């Protein structure tokens, strides 16, 4: 089992003829992802990586069954690309692009949710169901099939944590990088119920960061609804207040988004918080034993 994507998922790549789109589409295909179509306006009727290219998502969706779209489109047009996919009826949209104007994302996230479409990102590494389907930019070889689901705001933390779990023989089911921007399409709280219902996932790792209240919201959900054990990690705990550390969402304003508030929320929810990547493995082992 898995959440969101699996070996049968049919994928569309928006921006497949660009440098980033072409490179990562090729890596996804090599991983085993079923990329069935691409979109680049003005290049319809051509092929890229032996995949047919269309001028619009609507046209591609009329020719192929599409379960998910992944977007490699420059920031000024990225939110519109996500809206295009959503309006064409694509149920899962993964927005990799970083640097998207915040107000563009505010509008896009609201409209896409109203359409009943799930948006992952922007500024995210994507998601992967280990050894089945990769829909993103992560190095697929570090994700070994196992029993732990993972949700992360940080791409690098995603890779390092998954590699540590894989090296320890625990492995992962599905891993979702939700992105580190202030406005994103899917949060920790949105994904926890999916892992809760997945019979193959025996525990969940939540890799958060300073800034915002997503971790506190997740902790409240875990306390009242989560049936499976959860282990957390909080990046940026040594950052000074008011200083952004890497991600646009990783900034502390007043008492909101502080490491202390996140640690306190997880403590109330009974979620242990690791101090290091290796400690994540130890805490997961303890929960699974």
CA dihedral of 204, 205, 210, 214, whole degrees rounded to 10: -20
Q: Examine the domain organization and report whether 237 and 100 are in the same domain.
A: no
Q: Examine the domain organization and report whether 220 and 281 are in the same domain.
A: yes
Task: Name the DSSP letter for residue 67.
Answer: S
Residue 161 counted as domain residue:
yes
pLDDT at res. 37: 98
Q: Examine the domain organization and report whether 149 and 238 are in the same domain.
A: yes
pLDDT at res. 238: 61
Last residue in a domain, options 121, 150, 171: 121
Give the domain range for residue 241: 138-288
Residue 131 counted as domain residue:
no
Is cis: bond before 122, omega within 30 of 0?
A: yes
Distance (Å, whole) CA 51 – CA 206: 35
Per-residue tokens: 70: 């992944």
Distance (Å, whole) CA 188 – CA 221: 10
pLDDT at res. 277: 93
Last residue in a domain, options 69, 89, 121: 121
Handedness of CA 264, 265, 267, 272 (dihedral sign): negative
Per-residue tokens: 81: 């690309």
Q: Examine the domain organization and report whether 110 and 151 are in the same domain.
A: no
Q: Examine the domain organization and report whether 57 and 184 are in the same domain.
A: no
Q: How many domains does the chain have?
A: 2
Q: Examine the domain organization and report whether 17 and 95 are in the same domain.
A: yes
CA 206 to chain centre: 12
- From the list 24, 64, 87, 247, the catalytic residue is 247
Q: Examine the domain organization and report whether 203 and 64 are in the same domain.
A: no
Residue 204 counted as domain residue:
yes
Q: Examine the domain organization and report whether 220 and 96 are in the same domain.
A: no
pLDDT at res. 244: 55
Distance (Å, whole) CA 256 – CA 270: 21
pLDDT at res. 211: 85
Residue 212 counted as domain residue:
yes
Last residue in a domain, options 121, 153, 170: 121
Q: Examine the domain organization and report whether 219 and 253 are in the same domain.
A: yes
Cβ–Cβ under 8 Å, residues 245 and 219 = no
Residues paired with residue 134 on neighbouring β-strands, in sequence order: 128
Q: Examine the domain organization and report whether 158 and 42 are in the same domain.
A: no
Residue 46 counted as domain residue:
yes
Q: Examine the domain organization and report whether 107 and 159 are in the same domain.
A: no
Residue 87 counted as domain residue:
yes
| CATH number of the domain enclosing 237 | 3.40.50.261
Confirm whether 247 is a catalytic residue: yes
Q: Examine the domain organization and report whether 106 and 144 are in the same domain.
A: no
| CATH number of the domain enclosing 37 | 3.40.50.720
pLDDT at res. 57: 98
Instruction: State the residue for tokens 């009329």.
Output: 62
Residue 233 counted as domain residue:
yes
The CA angle 279-283-289, to the nearest 5 degrees, is 140
pLDDT in tens, the chain (289 residues): 689 999 999 999 999 999 999 999 999 999 999 999 999 999 999 999 999 999 999 999 999 999 999 999 999 999 999 999 999 999 999 999 999 999 999 999 999 999 999 999 999 999 999 999 999 999 999 999 999 999 999 888 899 999 999 999 999 999 999 998 989 999 999 999 999 999 999 999 999 988 888 999 999 999 999 999 999 999 876 656 655 555 545 455 555 568 889 999 999 999 999 999 999 999 999 999 9
Residue 247 counted as domain residue:
yes
């Amino acid at each position: 089992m898995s959440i969101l994507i699996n070996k049968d998922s049919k994928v569309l790549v928006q921006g497949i003829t660009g440098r980033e789109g072409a490179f990562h589409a090729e890596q996804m295909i090599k991983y085993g992802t079923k990329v069935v179509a691409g979109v680049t306006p003005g290049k319809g009727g051509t092929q890229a990586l032996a995949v047919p290219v269309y001028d619009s998502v609507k046209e591609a969706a009329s020719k192929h069954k599409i379960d998910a779209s992944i977007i490699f489109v420059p920031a000024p047009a990225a939110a519109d690309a996500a809206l295009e996919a959503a309006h064409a009826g694509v149920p899962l949209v993964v927005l990799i692009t970083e640097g998207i104007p915040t107000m563009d994302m505010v509008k896009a996230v609201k409209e896409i949710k109203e359409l009943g479409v799930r948006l992952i990102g922007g500024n995210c590494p994507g998601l992967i169901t280990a050894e089945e389907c990769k829909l993103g930019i992560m190095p697929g070889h570090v994700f070994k099939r196992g029993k732990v689901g993972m949700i992360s705001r940080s791409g690098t933390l995603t890779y390092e944590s998954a590699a540590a779990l894989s090296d320890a023989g625990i492995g992962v089911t599905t891993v979702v990088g939700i992105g580190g921007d202030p406005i994103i399409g899917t949060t920790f709280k949105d994904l926890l119920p999916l892992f809760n219902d997945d019979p193959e996932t025996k525990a969940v790792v939540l890799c958060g960061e300073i800034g915002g209240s997503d971790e506190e919201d997740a902790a409240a959900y875990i306390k009242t609804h989560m049936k499976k054990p959860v282990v957390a990690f909080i990046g940026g705990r040594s950052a000074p207040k008011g200083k952004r550390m890497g991600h646009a969402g990783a900034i502390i304003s007043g008492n909101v988004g502080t490491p202390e508030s996140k640690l306190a929320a997880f403590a109330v929810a009974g979620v242990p918080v690791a101090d290091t990547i290796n400690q994540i493995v130890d805490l997961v082992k303890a929960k699974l034993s």
